[in-house]
Protein backbone atom coordinates (compact mmCIF):
# COMPACT_ATOMS: atom_id res chain seq x y z
CA UNK A 1 0.00 0.00 0.00
CA UNK A 2 0.89 3.64 -0.42
CA UNK A 3 0.16 5.37 2.90
CA UNK A 4 0.28 9.15 3.35
CA UNK A 5 0.29 10.33 6.97
CA UNK A 6 -0.46 13.97 7.86
CA UNK A 7 0.92 14.61 11.34
CA UNK A 8 2.34 17.92 12.53
CA UNK A 9 4.55 16.62 15.39
CA UNK A 10 6.68 13.86 13.85
CA UNK A 11 9.81 12.87 15.78
CA UNK A 12 12.32 10.03 15.92
CA UNK A 13 13.86 8.57 19.12
CA UNK A 14 16.61 11.18 18.78
CA UNK A 15 14.02 13.80 19.69
CA UNK A 16 12.24 14.45 22.98
CA UNK A 17 8.73 13.66 21.79
CA UNK A 18 6.50 10.65 21.19
CA UNK A 19 7.53 8.34 18.36
CA UNK A 20 4.25 6.56 17.60
CA UNK A 21 4.15 7.57 13.92
CA UNK A 22 7.86 6.87 13.44
CA UNK A 23 7.60 3.44 15.09
CA UNK A 24 4.51 2.38 13.14
CA UNK A 25 5.67 3.80 9.81
CA UNK A 26 9.09 2.18 10.11
CA UNK A 27 7.54 -1.24 10.69
CA UNK A 28 5.14 -0.77 7.77
CA UNK A 29 7.97 0.17 5.41
CA UNK A 30 9.95 -2.87 6.55
CA UNK A 31 6.97 -4.97 5.47
CA UNK A 32 7.09 -3.49 1.98
CA UNK A 33 4.61 -0.63 2.20
CA UNK A 34 5.36 2.93 1.10
CA UNK A 35 4.85 5.52 3.86
CA UNK A 36 5.08 9.27 3.37
CA UNK A 37 4.74 11.52 6.43
CA UNK A 38 3.88 15.19 5.90
CA UNK A 39 4.94 17.15 8.97
CA UNK A 40 6.31 20.41 10.37
CA UNK A 41 9.10 21.17 12.86
CA UNK A 42 8.04 20.75 16.47
CA UNK A 43 10.31 22.20 19.16
CA UNK A 44 10.64 18.80 20.88
CA UNK A 45 11.34 16.92 17.65
CA UNK A 46 14.78 16.24 16.22
CA UNK A 47 13.77 17.30 12.69
CA UNK A 48 15.62 20.11 10.96
CA UNK A 49 15.16 21.71 7.55
CA UNK A 50 17.07 24.36 5.62
CA UNK A 51 14.56 24.94 2.81
CA UNK A 52 10.89 25.90 2.84
CA UNK A 53 9.97 22.35 1.97
CA UNK A 54 12.42 19.52 2.39
CA UNK A 55 12.21 15.80 1.75
CA UNK A 56 14.22 13.41 3.90
CA UNK A 57 14.42 9.64 4.04
CA UNK A 58 14.40 8.56 7.67
CA UNK A 59 14.84 4.81 8.14
CA UNK A 60 12.88 4.09 4.98
CA UNK A 61 10.13 6.63 5.75
CA UNK A 62 9.68 9.39 3.20
CA UNK A 63 9.28 12.56 5.29
CA UNK A 64 8.03 15.80 3.73
CA UNK A 65 9.04 18.57 6.14
CA UNK A 66 7.28 21.91 5.92
CA UNK A 67 9.71 24.40 7.48
CA UNK A 68 7.10 25.68 9.88
CA UNK A 69 8.03 25.78 13.57
CA UNK A 70 5.57 25.02 16.35
CA UNK A 71 6.31 25.36 20.04
CA UNK A 72 4.13 25.02 23.15
CA UNK A 73 5.61 28.31 24.35
CA UNK A 74 4.13 30.23 21.42
CA UNK A 75 1.10 32.42 22.00
CA UNK A 76 -2.33 30.98 21.31
CA UNK A 77 -2.81 33.13 18.22
CA UNK A 78 0.61 32.16 16.86
CA UNK A 79 -0.11 28.47 17.31
CA UNK A 80 -3.54 28.73 15.67
CA UNK A 81 -1.93 30.56 12.76
CA UNK A 82 0.71 27.82 12.49
CA UNK A 83 -1.99 25.13 12.47
CA UNK A 84 -3.87 26.87 9.67
CA UNK A 85 -0.75 27.48 7.58
CA UNK A 86 0.22 23.82 7.90
CA UNK A 87 -3.29 22.72 6.90
CA UNK A 88 -3.29 24.86 3.77
CA UNK A 89 0.33 24.15 2.83
CA UNK A 90 0.04 20.39 3.32
CA UNK A 91 -3.12 20.30 1.21
CA UNK A 92 -0.85 20.50 -1.84
CA UNK A 93 0.41 17.03 -0.93
CA UNK A 94 -3.14 15.83 -0.37
CA UNK A 95 -3.78 16.73 -4.00
CA UNK A 96 -0.53 15.50 -5.52
CA UNK A 97 0.88 12.54 -3.58
CA UNK A 98 -0.21 9.08 -4.74
CA UNK A 99 -1.97 7.24 -1.93
CA UNK A 100 -4.10 4.20 -1.28
CA UNK A 101 -4.89 5.35 2.26
CA UNK A 102 -4.51 8.79 3.83
CA UNK A 103 -4.19 9.18 7.61
CA UNK A 104 -4.96 12.58 9.17
CA UNK A 105 -3.72 12.63 12.77
CA UNK A 106 -5.36 15.19 15.07
CA UNK A 107 -4.83 17.37 17.09
CA UNK A 108 -4.92 19.94 15.93
CA UNK A 109 -8.27 19.39 14.23
CA UNK A 110 -7.07 21.51 11.29
CA UNK A 111 -5.07 18.52 10.04
CA UNK A 112 -8.46 17.32 8.85
CA UNK A 113 -8.32 19.88 6.03
CA UNK A 114 -5.76 17.97 3.91
CA UNK A 115 -7.56 14.78 4.91
CA UNK A 116 -10.88 16.03 3.57
CA UNK A 117 -9.24 17.33 0.40
CA UNK A 118 -7.67 13.92 -0.23
CA UNK A 119 -11.01 12.26 0.48
CA UNK A 120 -13.32 14.39 -1.63
CA UNK A 121 -11.09 15.84 -4.36
CA UNK A 122 -8.88 12.81 -4.97
CA UNK A 123 -11.16 9.99 -3.84
CA UNK A 124 -8.66 8.61 -1.32
CA UNK A 125 -9.57 6.28 1.52
CA UNK A 126 -9.40 8.40 4.69
CA UNK A 127 -8.48 7.33 8.22
CA UNK A 128 -8.95 10.02 10.86
CA UNK A 129 -6.78 9.51 13.94
CA UNK A 130 -8.10 11.19 17.10
CA UNK A 131 -5.18 11.69 19.48
CA UNK A 132 -7.37 13.79 21.73
CA UNK A 133 -10.76 15.47 21.53
CA UNK A 134 -10.42 18.61 19.46
CA UNK A 135 -11.84 21.22 19.67
CA UNK A 136 -12.67 20.36 23.31
CA UNK A 137 -8.99 20.47 24.23
CA UNK A 138 -8.54 23.89 22.63
CA UNK A 139 -11.62 25.21 24.45
CA UNK A 140 -10.36 23.84 27.77
CA UNK A 141 -7.06 25.65 27.20
CA UNK A 142 -8.86 28.91 26.42
CA UNK A 143 -7.72 28.94 22.80
CA UNK A 144 -11.28 29.20 21.40
CA UNK A 145 -13.18 31.56 23.71
CA UNK A 146 -15.74 32.75 21.16
CA UNK A 147 -18.96 30.75 20.74
CA UNK A 148 -19.04 31.22 16.97
CA UNK A 149 -15.53 29.79 16.62
CA UNK A 150 -16.49 26.89 18.89
CA UNK A 151 -19.59 26.06 16.84
CA UNK A 152 -17.56 26.16 13.63
CA UNK A 153 -14.89 23.92 15.16
CA UNK A 154 -17.46 21.36 16.35
CA UNK A 155 -19.07 21.37 12.91
CA UNK A 156 -15.69 20.73 11.31
CA UNK A 157 -14.91 17.95 13.81
CA UNK A 158 -18.13 16.20 12.81
CA UNK A 159 -17.25 16.49 9.11
CA UNK A 160 -13.88 14.84 9.75
CA UNK A 161 -15.45 11.89 11.55
CA UNK A 162 -18.22 11.63 8.99
CA UNK A 163 -15.85 11.64 6.02
CA UNK A 164 -13.50 9.05 7.47
CA UNK A 165 -13.70 5.45 6.33
CA UNK A 166 -12.28 4.64 9.77
CA UNK A 167 -11.73 6.57 13.01
CA UNK A 168 -8.72 5.49 15.07
CA UNK A 169 -8.96 6.67 18.68
CA UNK A 170 -5.95 6.64 20.98
CA UNK A 171 -8.02 5.56 23.96
CA UNK A 172 -11.35 3.83 24.58
CA UNK A 173 -12.50 7.03 26.28
CA UNK A 174 -12.01 9.00 23.06
CA UNK A 175 -13.72 6.27 21.05
CA UNK A 176 -16.70 6.19 23.39
CA UNK A 177 -16.96 9.99 23.46
CA UNK A 178 -17.15 10.19 19.67
CA UNK A 179 -19.77 7.44 19.54
CA UNK A 180 -21.84 9.06 22.30
CA UNK A 181 -21.80 12.59 20.85
CA UNK A 182 -22.09 11.84 17.15
CA UNK A 183 -23.25 8.25 16.88
CA UNK A 184 -20.32 7.19 14.69
CA UNK A 185 -19.39 3.54 15.24
CA UNK A 186 -16.80 3.02 12.49
CA UNK A 187 -13.91 3.23 14.93
CA UNK A 188 -11.23 1.23 16.72
CA UNK A 189 -8.89 1.95 19.63
CA UNK A 190 -5.14 1.76 19.01
CA UNK A 191 -3.46 3.24 22.09
CA UNK A 192 -0.09 4.86 22.31
CA UNK A 193 2.66 2.28 22.20
CA UNK A 194 6.02 1.79 23.82
CA UNK A 195 9.34 0.56 22.54
CA UNK A 196 9.90 -2.45 24.77
CA UNK A 197 13.42 -2.99 23.45
CA UNK A 198 14.28 0.56 24.56
CA UNK A 199 12.39 1.03 27.83
CA UNK A 200 12.34 -2.61 28.89
CA UNK A 201 16.07 -3.25 28.48
CA UNK A 202 18.33 -1.95 31.29
CA UNK A 203 20.74 0.75 30.16
CA UNK A 204 24.24 -0.13 31.46
CA UNK A 205 26.76 2.33 32.87
CA UNK A 206 24.42 5.33 32.93
CA UNK A 207 23.67 6.85 36.31
CA UNK A 208 21.40 9.70 37.29
CA UNK A 209 23.00 12.90 38.67
CA UNK A 210 24.71 12.66 42.04
CA UNK A 211 21.99 14.65 43.80
CA UNK A 212 19.53 11.87 42.93
CA UNK A 213 21.66 8.93 44.00
CA UNK A 214 20.17 6.77 46.76
CA UNK A 215 16.89 8.72 46.54
CA UNK A 216 13.38 7.52 45.81
CA UNK A 217 12.83 9.42 42.56
CA UNK A 218 9.26 10.26 41.55
CA UNK A 219 9.64 11.10 37.86
CA UNK A 220 7.52 13.17 35.48
CA UNK A 221 8.48 13.51 31.82
CA UNK A 222 6.89 15.85 29.30
CA UNK A 223 5.29 19.26 29.09
CA UNK A 224 5.67 21.44 32.18
CA UNK A 225 2.45 23.43 32.31
CA UNK A 226 -1.02 23.90 33.77
CA UNK A 227 -2.74 20.99 32.03
CA UNK A 228 -0.11 18.63 33.41
CA UNK A 229 -0.54 20.03 36.92
CA UNK A 230 3.11 20.97 37.32
CA UNK A 231 2.36 23.33 40.23
CA UNK A 232 0.91 20.38 42.12
CA UNK A 233 4.26 18.61 41.95
CA UNK A 234 6.04 21.65 43.36
CA UNK A 235 3.56 21.99 46.23
CA UNK A 236 3.88 18.28 46.95
CA UNK A 237 7.66 18.62 47.17
CA UNK A 238 7.20 21.47 49.66
CA UNK A 239 4.96 19.24 51.77
CA UNK A 240 7.70 16.59 51.64
CA UNK A 241 10.57 18.91 52.55
CA UNK A 242 11.21 16.87 55.70
CA UNK A 243 11.58 13.65 53.67
CA UNK A 244 15.17 13.68 52.49
CA UNK A 245 14.70 10.29 50.84
CA UNK A 246 12.02 11.37 48.30
CA UNK A 247 12.79 13.61 45.30
CA UNK A 248 10.29 14.79 42.69
CA UNK A 249 11.97 15.13 39.28
CA UNK A 250 10.54 16.84 36.19
CA UNK A 251 12.23 16.34 32.82
CA UNK A 252 10.88 18.49 30.02
CA UNK A 253 9.94 21.99 28.98
CA UNK A 254 6.88 24.20 28.90
CA UNK A 255 5.28 27.47 29.89
CA UNK A 256 5.70 26.95 33.65
CA UNK A 257 9.25 25.66 33.59
CA UNK A 258 11.11 28.91 34.33
CA UNK A 259 8.58 29.93 36.96
CA UNK A 260 9.02 26.64 38.80
CA UNK A 261 12.82 26.81 38.54
CA UNK A 262 12.69 30.28 40.13
CA UNK A 263 10.35 29.10 42.90
CA UNK A 264 12.58 26.12 43.63
CA UNK A 265 15.61 28.38 43.96
CA UNK A 266 13.73 30.92 46.09
CA UNK A 267 12.48 28.26 48.50
CA UNK A 268 15.79 26.35 48.44
CA UNK A 269 13.77 23.20 47.96
CA UNK A 270 16.22 20.27 47.78
CA UNK A 271 13.69 17.59 46.84
CA UNK A 272 12.35 19.23 43.67
CA UNK A 273 14.45 19.07 40.49
CA UNK A 274 13.84 20.12 36.90
CA UNK A 275 16.01 18.90 34.04
CA UNK A 276 16.00 19.99 30.42
CA UNK A 277 14.46 18.05 27.58
CA UNK A 278 16.55 15.11 26.49
CA UNK A 279 16.32 12.62 23.61
CA UNK A 280 14.23 9.56 24.34
CA UNK A 281 17.24 7.27 24.08
CA UNK A 282 18.85 9.26 26.94
CA UNK A 283 15.67 9.72 28.95
CA UNK A 284 15.17 5.98 29.25
CA UNK A 285 17.97 5.60 31.83
CA UNK A 286 16.29 8.14 34.13
CA UNK A 287 12.93 6.41 33.82
CA UNK A 288 14.38 2.97 34.49
CA UNK A 289 16.19 4.12 37.64
CA UNK A 290 13.24 6.01 39.11
CA UNK A 291 11.09 4.70 41.94
CA UNK A 292 7.68 5.82 40.69
CA UNK A 293 6.30 7.62 37.64
CA UNK A 294 3.61 10.28 37.93
CA UNK A 295 1.03 11.41 35.37
CA UNK A 296 -0.63 14.37 37.12
CA UNK A 297 -3.18 15.72 34.64
CA UNK A 298 -5.46 18.49 35.90
CA UNK A 299 -8.93 17.47 37.06
CA UNK A 300 -11.21 17.83 34.02
CA UNK A 301 -13.65 15.29 32.53
CA UNK A 302 -12.17 15.86 29.07
CA UNK A 303 -8.75 14.68 30.25
CA UNK A 304 -10.22 11.41 31.50
CA UNK A 305 -9.95 10.26 27.86
CA UNK A 306 -6.23 11.04 27.56
CA UNK A 307 -3.68 8.49 26.36
CA UNK A 308 -0.32 9.90 27.55
CA UNK A 309 2.70 8.16 26.09
CA UNK A 310 4.60 8.62 29.35
CA UNK A 311 2.22 6.11 30.96
CA UNK A 312 3.13 3.32 28.54
CA UNK A 313 6.86 4.08 28.72
CA UNK A 314 6.85 4.01 32.52
CA UNK A 315 5.04 0.68 32.63
CA UNK A 316 7.49 -0.79 30.10
CA UNK A 317 10.34 0.23 32.40
CA UNK A 318 8.64 -1.55 35.29
CA UNK A 319 7.60 1.66 37.05
CA UNK A 320 4.37 1.75 39.03
CA UNK A 321 2.37 4.85 38.06
CA UNK A 322 0.52 7.46 40.12
CA UNK A 323 -2.11 9.39 38.15
CA UNK A 324 -5.03 11.78 38.64
CA UNK A 325 -7.81 11.13 36.11
CA UNK A 326 -11.15 9.37 36.65
CA UNK A 327 -11.33 7.68 33.25
CA UNK A 328 -9.92 4.58 31.62
CA UNK A 329 -6.42 4.98 33.13
CA UNK A 330 -7.82 4.77 36.66
CA UNK A 331 -9.74 1.61 35.78
CA UNK A 332 -6.72 0.19 33.98
CA UNK A 333 -4.33 0.67 36.92
CA UNK A 334 -6.87 -0.80 39.33
CA UNK A 335 -7.56 -3.83 37.14
CA UNK A 336 -3.91 -4.61 36.51
CA UNK A 337 -2.71 -3.50 39.97
CA UNK A 338 0.18 -1.47 38.64
CA UNK A 339 -0.46 2.00 40.04
CA UNK A 340 -2.45 4.45 42.14
CA UNK A 341 -4.95 7.29 41.65
CA UNK A 342 -5.22 10.39 43.85
CA UNK A 343 -7.09 13.72 43.87
CA UNK A 344 -5.25 16.10 41.56
CA UNK A 345 -5.97 19.23 43.63
CA UNK A 346 -4.54 17.97 46.92
CA UNK A 347 -0.73 18.08 47.31
CA UNK A 348 -1.01 17.07 50.98
CA UNK A 349 -2.79 13.85 49.98
CA UNK A 350 -0.12 13.08 47.39
CA UNK A 351 2.66 13.80 49.88
CA UNK A 352 0.99 11.50 52.40
CA UNK A 353 0.63 8.73 49.79
CA UNK A 354 4.29 9.00 48.79
CA UNK A 355 5.38 8.91 52.43
CA UNK A 356 3.33 5.80 53.12
CA UNK A 357 4.72 4.06 50.06
CA UNK A 358 8.29 5.04 50.91
CA UNK A 359 7.91 3.57 54.40
CA UNK A 360 6.67 0.22 53.08
CA UNK A 361 9.22 -1.68 50.94
CA UNK A 362 6.97 -4.69 50.35
CA UNK A 363 4.53 -3.43 47.68
CA UNK A 364 6.86 -2.39 44.86
CA UNK A 365 8.48 -5.61 43.52
CA UNK A 366 5.20 -7.30 42.59
CA UNK A 367 3.68 -4.09 41.23
CA UNK A 368 6.78 -3.44 39.12
CA UNK A 369 6.57 -6.94 37.65
CA UNK A 370 2.89 -6.45 36.82
CA UNK A 371 3.68 -3.11 35.15
CA UNK A 372 6.28 -4.71 32.88
CA UNK A 373 4.00 -7.62 32.06
CA UNK A 374 1.01 -5.50 31.11
CA UNK A 375 3.19 -3.25 28.93
CA UNK A 376 4.49 -6.29 27.05
CA UNK A 377 1.00 -7.69 26.61
CA UNK A 378 -0.91 -4.55 25.61
CA UNK A 379 1.37 -1.66 24.63
CA UNK A 380 4.09 -3.28 22.50
CA UNK A 381 4.66 -1.04 19.48
CA UNK A 382 5.19 -4.00 17.16
CA UNK A 383 1.88 -5.61 18.05
CA UNK A 384 -0.01 -2.32 17.81
CA UNK A 385 1.62 -1.45 14.49
CA UNK A 386 0.38 -4.79 13.17
CA UNK A 387 -3.14 -4.10 14.46
CA UNK A 388 -3.12 -0.66 12.85
CA UNK A 389 -1.80 -1.99 9.54
CA UNK A 390 -4.54 -4.63 9.47
CA UNK A 391 -7.12 -1.86 9.91
CA UNK A 392 -5.56 0.20 7.10
CA UNK A 393 -5.57 -2.87 4.85
CA UNK A 394 -9.24 -3.45 5.61
CA UNK A 395 -10.01 0.16 4.69
CA UNK A 396 -7.99 -0.08 1.48
CA UNK A 397 -9.73 -3.26 0.40
CA UNK A 398 -13.21 -2.14 1.42
CA UNK A 399 -15.61 -1.01 -1.29
CA UNK A 400 -17.78 0.90 1.19
CA UNK A 401 -17.60 4.66 1.63
CA UNK A 402 -17.31 5.03 5.40
CA UNK A 403 -16.23 1.84 7.14
CA UNK A 404 -19.62 0.68 8.39
CA UNK A 405 -19.89 -2.16 10.84
CA UNK A 406 -16.24 -2.51 11.82
CA UNK A 407 -15.79 -4.48 15.02
CA UNK A 408 -15.36 -2.55 18.24
CA UNK A 409 -11.84 -3.42 19.34
CA UNK A 410 -11.72 -1.41 22.55
CA UNK A 411 -11.38 -4.63 24.57
CA UNK A 412 -7.59 -4.17 24.62
CA UNK A 413 -8.08 -2.27 27.87
CA UNK A 414 -8.95 -5.51 29.63
CA UNK A 415 -5.73 -7.15 28.51
Chain centroid to CA 308: how far?
4
Looking at residue 254, its pLDDT comes to 87
- The 10s digit of each residue's pLDDT in 35-58 is 999 999 998 888 999 999 999 999
Q: Tens digit of pLDDT for each residue in 249-281?
A: 999 998 899 999 999 999 999 999 999 988 888
Q: How confident is the model at residue 405 (pLDDT cuts 50, 70, 90)?
A: very low
Q: Which residues contact 340 (CB under 8 A, 6 or more apart)?
A: 320, 321, 322, 323, 333, 353
> Band of the pLDDT at 402, cuts 50, 70, 90?
low
Question: Above pLDDT 90, what percent of the chain?
Answer: 71
pLDDT band of 163, cuts 50, 70, 90: very high
95 pLDDT higher than 60: yes
Q: How far is C-alpha 386 from the chain's CA centre?
A: 19
Q: Name 42's Cβ contacts closer than 8 Å, sequence gap at least 6.
A: 8, 9, 10, 11, 15, 17, 69, 70, 71
At 415 the pLDDT is 33
Compute the average pLDDT of residues 386-405.
Answer: 79
Mean pLDDT of 110-120: 96
Quote the pLDDT of residue 350: 94
357 three-state secondary structure = helix
Which residues of the chain are in CATH 3.40.50.2000 domains? 2-193+380-414, 196-378
Q: What value does the mean pLDDT of the chain take? A: 91
Q: Report, as an integer, the average pLDDT of 223-248.
A: 94
Contacts of 48 (CB under 8 A, 6+ apart): 41
The CA-atom distances, in angstroms, between 35 and each of 1, 23, 166, 389, 398 are 8, 12, 18, 12, 20
Percent above pLDDT 70 for the chain: 96
Q: With 80 as the cut, is the pLDDT of residue 411 above it? A: no
Higher pLDDT, 368 or 78: 368
**Calpha distance 283→269 (Å, rounded):** 23
Report the pLDDT value the prediction gives residue 401, as an integer from 0 to 100.
Answer: 54
How does residue 398 score in pLDDT terms, banded at 50, 70 and 90? confident
**CATH classification of 196-378 is 3.40.50.2000, yes or no?**
yes
CATH architecture assignment, domain 2-193+380-414: 3-Layer(aba) Sandwich (3.40)
- Residue 115 pLDDT greater than 90, yes or no: yes
The confidence score (pLDDT) of residue 82 equals 92
User: Which segment of 13-17, 100-104, 320-324, 356-360 scores lowest on mean pLDDT?
Assistant: 13-17
134 — pLDDT class (breaks 50, 70, 90): confident
Amino acid sequence: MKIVYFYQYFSTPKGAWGTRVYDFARQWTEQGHSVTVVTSIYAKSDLKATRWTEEQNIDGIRVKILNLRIDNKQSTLRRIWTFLVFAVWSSWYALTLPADVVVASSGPITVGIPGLIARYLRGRKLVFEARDLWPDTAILMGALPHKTAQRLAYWFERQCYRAAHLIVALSPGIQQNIARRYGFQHSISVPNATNLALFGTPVPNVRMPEELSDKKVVIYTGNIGAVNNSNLLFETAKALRHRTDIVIVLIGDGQLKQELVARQQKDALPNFRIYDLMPKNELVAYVQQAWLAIVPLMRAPLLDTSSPNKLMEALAAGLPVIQTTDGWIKSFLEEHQCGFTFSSDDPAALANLLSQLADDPTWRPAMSARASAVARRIFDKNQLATTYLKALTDVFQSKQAPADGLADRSQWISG
